[in-house]
């Protein structure tokens, strides 16, 4: 577990915790406000969380060559996460426009 310094580990771990908290708070926001389109953002953020977890896992095992596939998975999940977050933002915008037009 010596692939990263302690401060870098703190950044990695707190980053994962922040993603989990953000996903949870966005879900709660959708529930409290009744704007269920925001739940799409919670789901859209999950691939990015998986990406962060891949990085932490790979570093935890000292960047083992046998786990190098995690680097590829991290990159893929980053791309998928960016696309799904973008689609979720579009969905929120679309739902807001539909609500605006129906008033």
Per-residue model confidence as pLDDT tens digits over 34-66:
999 999 999 999 999 999 999 999 999 999 999
Place of tokens 């389109």: 37
**For residues 24-49, b (16+ Cβ closer than 10 Å) or e, as one string?**
eebbeebeeeeeebbbbbbebbbbbb
Mean pLDDT of 61-73: 95
Dihedral sign of CA atoms 7, 42, 26, 40 in order = positive
Place of tokens 């791309």: 79
Residue 10: both structure tokens together:
């703190």
Dihedral sign of CA atoms 12, 15, 17, 20 in order = negative
**What pLDDT sits at residue 14?**
96
Query: What is the overall mean pLDDT for the chain?
Result: 94
**What pLDDT sits at residue 11?**
94
Dihedral sign of CA atoms 3, 8, 12, 14 in order = positive
Read off the pTM: 0.88
């Amino acid at each position: 577990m010596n692939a990263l310094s302690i401060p870098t580990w703190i950044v990695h771990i707190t980053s994962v915790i922040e993603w989990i908290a953000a996903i949870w708070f966005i879900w709660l926001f959708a529930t409290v406000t009744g704007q269920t389109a925001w739940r799409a953002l919670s789901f859209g953020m999950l691939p990015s969380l998986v990406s962060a977890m891949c990085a932490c896992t790979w570093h935890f095992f000292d960047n083992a060559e046998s786990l190098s596939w995690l680097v590829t998975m991290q990159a893929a999940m980053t791309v998928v996460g960016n696309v799904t977050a973008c689609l979720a933002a579009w969905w929120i915008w679309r739902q807001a426009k539909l609500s605006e037009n129906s008033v």
